[in-house]
Structure 1
Amino acid sequence: MYVLAALSGRGVVCSSQRFGCKLGVMDVFGDKDCLNSAAFWRHIGTCFPGQTGIDSKKFLNSLSVFKIYGFKGLIIGSGFEGKYDILRQANEILPLYANSLSVFKCLENPVLFFETLKLLEVPFPQVNFSAESFENLGSDWILKDLGSSGGCGIKKKFGRKSKSSEYFQKQLPGTAVSLSFFADGQNFMPLGYSKPVTTKQSNLPFVFLWFGWSG
């Protein structure tokens, strides 16, 4: 049996149950559906008001508990962006089934990411790598962080670039959706589209509340 660790394990653990696959779960929210579907659950969220994230110490301690209970491997979801030292430590406790850490680092390099999109002829909004703040940029620009998830790395009007994974992007009108898919480097198989419901938290205008599956 395997354990899933993520900000929210609900979607994966509920889907896996439909195929007769039981998972252990470590996540932040522990909603009713997740608790009813998980073989075993542990809370790994931060304890600071207004902050949603994974507590590294809780995660590693909980992973050791899952090992004691006979779980054989670790699968990760969102919430581990930039936590590569923690994932290395986790891999020493239970085998980590995920992309290599070098792949994650490549995905968090804005220049490499958008150069790859150009090579693949995938269209994208105008981006700015040289700006350090919103000064001299129009009101239709946002600051994004490739090392984030759930809309927690998107800022508007306020904030300065402080990480190599951040960049400025022109905001376009329209409906935001995301595509989930399987890929092997040559081929991909779409699974479905999600339309996020968002809310504003402090200076974060697009924090995700919920994803509606429409596959």
Structure 2
Amino acid sequence: MKNAILIIALSARPFVVAAARSGYAVTAIDAFADKQTIESAKKTVVVGFDEQGFIADALLKAITQLDLSDCLGCIYGSGFEAQPNLLQKIAEVVPLIGNAPETVNAIKDAAQFFSALGQLNIAHPAVFDVLPDKDENNKSAVYLKKFSAGSGGAHISLVSLNDAKLNNKKLLNNEYYQQQLNGQSVSLLFLADRQKVEVIGFNEQWLNPRDTMPFRYGGAVGHIELSNSVGQQLIEAAERLTVAFGLLGLNSLDAIVQDDKAYVLEVNPRLSATVDLYDNTVENLIDRHVQVCLNQEDFGSEYQSQQSQVQKTQVKKHKAHAIMYAISDTEIVPSIEWPSWVVDTPFNLYETKKILAGAPICNVTAYAESAEAAKQLVYTRVKIVQSLLKIKTSPHNKKANNITIVEKV
């Protein structure tokens, strides 16, 4: 058994499962405590969340109640974008394994990030503090209103020029307008050591919209093929941003590809959902993150060169995942037999669990020999699970507290 490690993310399951598989004794803190997280972690702590991420006081209280005497450090995912000061408070209790709080703060500061993109000559959609009254070059232009410290697409809304006067009220801190570009939504998952990057994989992402969240994250497929030009543009952008901001460990870069040109949208300076797409080809990904962050690995060493060659010669299975959200309030009975390819399933051994409309129910996965085949298979499987959940059951017992602890016996 390796060191004990703390993992905190709104949905920590992919990181917890990977770390446990690598031999770490994991304590997990997340917002859902799904079945797979509880089964993989030594202890799972559930902390409430809101539009800002984790409820700060509840999270800090939960951490102070843990025995971290033999803990190597804390790996984190989503839940901190809007409150990097919370990361700093955690760092005062347990070492962070990942980007420093000041790095997260800088990347998620809209003015600082887009200024850096301009200085580094990295293509990106036009951004504005105030919507233009008209756009003579493109009268049909559509704009987005974004919050740079958001995640999962819930922070994005559509704004048209016809609504400019209505929508041009003062923006909140780190809000901005951005021209919407149509194209392929992609991301680059990469490992960084503040100076260099190592490509883990390119991914295609898609939406699962609802009326109030038209850009809600729906899913992704890994190991996609991009043109050499687009791939190189994304890698160069990651390299320049790594040096500029001192990025460390696993990070992801989101972009839109239009006419063979990549336009950078944002960088997630933490473990992202797409880490889950590489559990079948990069078995030591959490190990790599830990080793690079703790300076235990000579980044770009002969070992890594050999590993890269091994990975290139392996047959790569493409993995896709799709988040299933509740369209209406949905009750999950304990007797449901989930297919083996469904994860993030509710942990309800004895009671019916109510999932509120708009909340995630589970995550459907699929592996295939091509990205397109994986996408089609995961879409088919989503329909199977939708049919499975057409069950009416008794009311659910509501939970009142912000913190729940589930300990493996």
Q: 3-state SS of the aligned residue for 1:66?
A: coil
Report what 1:115 is aligned to. 115
Quick check: 70-79 or 135-144, which moved more? 135-144
Work out the CA distance in 2 between the residues paired with 1:14 and 1:92.
26
Which residues in structure 2 correspond to 1:126-141 (within 5 Å)?
A: 126-131=126-131, 140-141=142-143
**CA displacement at 1:30 relative to structure 2:** 2.1
Does residue 171 (structure 1) correspond to residue 183 (structure 2)? The answer is no
Does residue 45 (structure 1) correspond to residue 54 (structure 2)? The answer is no
Q: Is the 8 A contact 1:24 1:41 kept in 2?
A: yes
Work out the CA distance in 1 between the residues paired with 2:52 and 2:100.
25
Q: 3-state SS of the aligned residue for 1:102?
A: helix
Work out the CA distance in 1 between the residues paired with 2:62 and 2:203.
30
One-letter identity of the residue aligned with 2:151: S
One-letter identity of the residue aligned with 1:92: E
How has the CA–CA distance of structure 1 residues 199 and 45 changed in structure 2, closer, same or farther, with 3 Å as cutoff? farther
Aligned match for 1:199, one of 191, 208, 214: 208
| Larger relative contact order, structure 1 or 2 (CA cutoff 8 Å, min sep 6) | 2
Q: Is the 8 A contact 1:35 1:41 kept in 2?
A: yes
How has the CA–CA distance of structure 1 residues 201 and 64 changed in structure 2, closer, same or farther, with 3 Å as cutoff? farther
**CA displacement at 1:142 relative to structure 2:** 0.5
One-letter identity of the residue aligned with 1:146: S
Query: Which whole-Å deviations, capped at 9, do the CAs of 1:160-198 have from their partners, x for residues lacking one?
Result: 553231211111112212211111232111112333343
Which residues in structure 2 correspond to 1:49-68 (within 5 Å)?
A: 53-67=53-67
**CA displacement at 1:202 relative to structure 2:** 4.8
**CA displacement at 1:151 relative to structure 2:** 1.1
Does residue 124 (structure 1) correspond to residue 117 (structure 2)? The answer is no
Q: Is the 8 A contact 2:53 2:82 kept in 1?
A: no
One-letter identity of the residue aligned with 1:149: S
**CA displacement at 1:68 relative to structure 2:** 5.8
Report what 2:245 is aligned to. none
Report what 2:148 is aligned to. 146
Q: 3-state SS of the aligned residue for 1:106?
A: helix
Report what 1:87 is aligned to. 87
Q: 3-state SS of the aligned residue for 1:194?
A: strand
Provide the TM-score with structure 1 as the length reference: 0.81
How has the CA–CA distance of structure 1 residues 135 and 108 changed in structure 2, closer, same or farther, with 3 Å as cutoff? farther
Unaligned runs of 5+ in 1: none
**CA displacement at 1:209 relative to structure 2:** 4.0
How has the CA–CA distance of structure 1 residues 185 and 89 changed in structure 2, closer, same or farther, with 3 Å as cutoff? closer
Q: Is the 8 A contact 2:189 2:199 kept in 1?
A: yes
**CA displacement at 1:139 relative to structure 2:** 5.8
Identity %, equivalent residues:
27
Report what 1:208 is aligned to. 217
Report what 2:190 is aligned to. 181
Aligned match for 2:10, one of 1, 7, 10: 7
One-letter identity of the residue aligned with 1:39: K
Report what 2:407 is aligned to. none
Report what 1:35 is aligned to. 38
Provide the TM-score with structure 2 as the length reference: 0.46
Work out the CA distance in 2 between the residues paired with 1:128 and 1:182.
31
Q: Is the 8 A contact 2:129 2:171 kept in 1?
A: no
Work out the CA distance in 2 between the residues paired with 1:170 and 1:54.
30
**CA displacement at 1:92 relative to structure 2:** 2.9
Q: Is the 8 A contact 1:13 1:22 kept in 2?
A: no
**CA displacement at 1:106 relative to structure 2:** 1.5
Q: 3-state SS of the aligned residue for 2:14?
A: helix
Report what 2:22 is aligned to. 19
Q: Is the 8 A contact 1:67 1:93 kept in 2?
A: no
Q: Is the 8 A contact 1:67 1:94 kept in 2?
A: no
How has the CA–CA distance of structure 1 residues 29 and 178 changed in structure 2, closer, same or farther, with 3 Å as cutoff? farther
Quick check: 16-25 or 180-189, which moved more? 16-25
Work out the CA distance in 2 between the residues paired with 1:89 and 1:186.
27
Work out the CA distance in 1 between the residues paired with 2:122 and 2:220.
24
Does residue 105 (structure 1) correspond to residue 108 (structure 2)? The answer is no
Unaligned runs of 5+ in 2: 224-277, 279-409
